[in-house]
Structure 1
C-alpha cells in the first residue's frame, strides 16, 4: 500500500504544492516523474539484490528509506528539495516491492499462492484509489496547518508499523545466486532513462534547445549499446536480454505497457490540475470524482478471466478501445461544458468506462506477454515490463504535460485539457493496434510480474 498510495496521492495535491512552494509547471511535472524514474531505475537490480542477499533485509531497508524520504518530502522547503526526495522515495519503493512478491512466492505453496496474489492485487487496486482520495482529503483537512505536506507525513507512522511487523513476522528467504550483480548496467539504465525524460520535461520551457535533442539521443543510444554489450560479453544477469527483444510479441507487449501507462499518468496529471485550477474543484472533490475510475476497474474485474478464456488477446484489444472511448467521452464533456464550470456527473460515465478498459488490458497483459518468453528469462522479462510501466508513466507526464501547459497561457485551461486528452486517447489507439502482435491465446503458466 505504501508504494501504490504514493504513486497516486500526489496528483490531487499538485495545485496546492504549486501555490505553496511555489513551483512552475515543469516543477510539478518533475514531482510526479521523479518518483517514477527512481522506481524504474532501481526495480530490476533491487530484485536481484533481494534474491542474493535476502529479501527480508532488502524489504526492511526499503521501508526505512521510504520513511526517511517521506519525512524529507514533507519538510521540503522548495521544489528542488521535493523533487529530490521524491526520486529517492521511488528508489525506496522499488527496493521493497520485488521483495514482497518474491517472499509471497516462497511463503505459500501452489494452492495458497493464487489467493495470496489475488489479495495483493486487491490491495494494490484499493491503494491506488485511496491515494487519489487521500491526496485531496489530507490537503483539504490541513492537519496541524501542514496542508499538502500531510500526504507525505502520513507515511511515517505507517512505515514504522510495517518495520516492526516486518522484522517480527516476515521469514527470511533468498536464492542460491552466483556471479556479480550487474550494478554497472543498472547505473547505465538509470542514466539512460533520466537522459530521455529530462529533455521531454524541460524542453518546452527552454525552447527545445540542441542539448535536449543530444541528451535524448544519447539516452536511447546508451540503452541500445548497453543491451548489445551485455549480449556480446555474456553478462550473467543482463538487465536487457537481447534474446527477449528478438520476439515480436515481447517487444509489442513492452510498447503496450509503455503507451498504456504514458496515457494514463499523463492524462490524470493534467485532469486533476484542470479540475482544481480551471473548474474550482476542491482537492477532496477532485479525488472523489476520480474514484469513479477505480470503481470501473472493480466492476470490470470479474469479467476478465471469462473473456480471456473466450477471446484471448481480443480482451486486451477491447480494453484499449474501451479506455480510449471512456477518455473520449470525458474529452467531449470537457469541450462541451461551460468554460466556467463543468459538473462532475457528466464526467463519471467516461471515467467508469476508462476504468473498465484499464482492467481488461492490464490484468491479462503480463501473462499474455510472458507466455512467449522462455522460462529462464521470465524473471528478467517481468522486471523489464514493470520498468516500462514506470518509465512510460514518466514519459506520459512529460509529453502530455507539455501539451497541456504549452496551451494554457494563450488558449486557456479547458482548451489545453481537450488537446491533452486527445494525446492520451491516441496512446490507447496505439495500444489496440500493437495488441494484434500478441499471441491469440496465452500459453504456459508464467510467474507474476514484479
Structure 2
C-alpha cells in the first residue's frame, strides 16, 4: 500500500492554514498585553485606601504610585516605539512584557511605599516598551482586508478593560486572598505575563523599519528633568509645608522645557530625529487637539483619584461597593464611545465632542450637588445619574478626539503625531494627579492622613468637603476643554487605525499606540 503524496496545492493550503493559526495566536498575545496595560492603569485607584492602610503611605506617596506609572509611560512611549523600529518589534515587545511582569512582582512584594513607587515607575517604563509594538505587530501580521475585523477586536478589548479594571481590582482587594490585601492586583499579572512571553516567543513574527530614526536620548532626558521639576514639588510640596525650593523648581521647569524645545528644533534642522516633531504644532487642529488631550488628561487623572477616595474614605464604602458603583460610568463610556465614532461624528463633527464636554460638565455638577446635599449619607443609587452623565460625556470625547486632532496632519507624519498625542494624554494624567495636592489634599489637610473606612464622621465630612472643592476644579477644566474644541475642524475625517500604521522607511509612519488611555 502506497502513501498518497500531497500535491503542491495541498501543501500550500496546509502552510496557509498554519500561518493563519499562528497570526491569530499572535493577535491573542498582543491583545492580552494591551488588556494588561489598560487594566493595570485602572486597577490601582480602587486599591489606594488598602495600600495606604497596609503600608502606611502618605497621600503624596499614594499620588506617586499612580502618577509615577503615568509619567514613566508617557516619557518612554515614543522612544519605545522607535526602539522597536530599530531593534525589532517582537524583541522589544517580549522585553517589555518580561520587564512589566517583573515589575508587577516587585509591586506585589513591595515592603514599603518607596519600593512600591519605584516598581510602579519601572512598570510604566516597561509598558512604554511593550505597548507601542502592539499595533505595529498587528499591522505586519494581517493583510489589509482583515485589519477592519482585527481592529474591531482591539476596540472590544479596550472596552472590556475599561469595564473590568475597577471590578477586578475591587474583587481582588475585597477578597483579601491569602491575607495579601491589595497585593494580588499586581501578582495576577505574573501567570499572564509568563504565558504571554512563552507564546510570544513561538508565534510572533519579527519585524523592523528598514531605516528607522535614531533615539533622541538628550531630548528624552531634558523632557524628563523639566517635567520632574514641576511634578515633584507639586506633589510633595503640601507634605513638606510648601518650601521655597519647590517654588524655585516649579518656576525653573518652563526654562528647562524651553531648552528642550530649542534642542528639538536644532536637531530637526540638522536632519536628526527629534523626540517631538515640533512642526506638527503649527497645524491648528493638532495643536488644539493636543491641548484638549492634555487638559482632559488633567481632569481625568484628578477625577479618578478623588472619586475613589471619596467613596472609600469619605463614605466608608468597601472596594467592591465602590467598584460596582463605577459600573454605570464604564458602561456609559463604552456605549457612547462606539456610537460617537460610528454614527454621530460622521454626521455632526466636532459638535459631538463639545456635547460630550457639556454632558460631562453636567455630570460633575450633579455629583457636586448630590455630595453637598447628602454628605456622608450619600448612597450608590443617588450617584447613578452623575455616573451615567460623566461616563457618556467621556465616551463622546475619548473615542473621536484622536481622529479629530490628526485630521489635518499629513499622512507621512501620522505615526509621529499619534505617538505625541497619546504621550500628551498620559502627561496630562500625571499632572492631574500632581494637582490633587492643591485641589483635594490641600483642602483635606492633615485631617485626612489617618483616614479610613472607620474614620469618625468629622473626618469623613472633611473628605466630602475636599471632594466638592476638587469637583469645582474638574468643572473648570471641562469648561477649558469645551473652549479648546472650537479650534478643531467642524467636520472630522475618519481615519482607520490601519491608515496610520504602515511602518515606513523613515520611521514616521509607524503606528504608535492609539488606545484611549483615559478611559477609567
Same fold by TM-score, threshold 0.5 exceeded?
yes
Offset of residue 193 of structure 1 = 2.3
Aligned residue runs from structure 1 range 122-271, under 5 A: 122-178=156-212, 180-234=214-268, 235-271=271-307
Query: 2:422 & 2:373 partners in 1: Cα distance?
Result: 37
Q: 1:25: which partner in 2?
A: 59
Offset of residue 221 of structure 1 = 2.5
**Which 10-residue stretch deviates more, 363-372 or 109-118?**
109-118
Query: 1:340 & 1:226 partners in 2: Cα distance?
Result: 47
The 1:100–1:318 alpha-carbon spacing in structure 2 relative to 1, beyond 3 Å, is: same
Query: 1:198 & 1:362 partners in 2: Cα distance?
Result: 28
SS of 2:326's partner is helix
SS of 2:239's partner is helix
Offset of residue 53 of structure 1 = 1.0
Offset of residue 166 of structure 1 = 1.3
SS of 2:226's partner is helix
Q: 1:311: which partner in 2?
A: 348
Deviations 1:369-400 (A, max 9, x none): 11121223222211111111111011111113
Offset of residue 164 of structure 1 = 1.3
Q: 1:323: which partner in 2?
A: 360
Offset of residue 180 of structure 1 = 2.9
**1:63 aligned to 2:97?**
yes
TM-score by length of 1: 0.96
The 1:449–1:428 alpha-carbon spacing in structure 2 relative to 1, beyond 3 Å, is: farther
Query: 1:390 & 1:28 partners in 2: Cα distance?
Result: 18
For structure 2, the residue ranges without an aligned partner over 5 or more in a row are 1-34, 448-460, 501-510, 514-520
Match of 1:345 among 378, 381, 386: 381
Offset of residue 217 of structure 1 = 3.3
Deviations 1:197-239 (A, max 9, x none): 1122112222333322332233322233222222223353211
The 1:158–1:179 alpha-carbon spacing in structure 2 relative to 1, beyond 3 Å, is: closer
The 1:166–1:261 alpha-carbon spacing in structure 2 relative to 1, beyond 3 Å, is: same
Contact conserved, 1:200 with 1:398, CA < 8 A, in 2?
A: yes
Deviations 1:160-195 (A, max 9, x none): 111111112221111112453212222222222222
Contact conserved, 1:333 with 1:347, CA < 8 A, in 2?
A: yes
Query: 1:36 & 1:142 partners in 2: Cα distance?
Result: 26
Q: 1:390: which partner in 2?
A: 426
Aligned residue runs from structure 1 range 301-450, under 5 A: 301-304=337-340, 305-337=342-374, 339-409=375-445, 412-443=462-493, 445=495, 447=500, 450=513
SS of 1:204's partner is coil
SS of 1:61's partner is helix
**1:92 aligned to 2:126?**
yes
Query: 1:73 & 1:296 partners in 2: Cα distance?
Result: 31
Query: 2:163 & 2:195 partners in 1: Cα distance?
Result: 22
Offset of residue 449 of structure 1 = 5.2
Contact conserved, 1:262 with 1:395, CA < 8 A, in 2?
A: yes
For structure 1, the residue ranges without an aligned partner over 5 or more in a row are none
Query: 1:444 & 1:231 partners in 2: Cα distance?
Result: 31
Offset of residue 278 of structure 1 = 1.4
Quote the RMSD (CA, aligned, Å): 1.6
The 1:368–1:449 alpha-carbon spacing in structure 2 relative to 1, beyond 3 Å, is: farther
SS of 1:206's partner is coil
SS of 1:85's partner is helix
Contact conserved, 1:264 with 1:396, CA < 8 A, in 2?
A: yes
Offset of residue 246 of structure 1 = 1.6
Query: 2:494 & 2:397 partners in 1: Cα distance?
Result: 19
TM-score by length of 2: 0.83
Larger Rg: 2
Contact conserved, 2:73 with 2:127, CA < 8 A, in 1?
A: yes
Query: 1:240 & 1:359 partners in 2: Cα distance?
Result: 28
Offset of residue 297 of structure 1 = 1.4
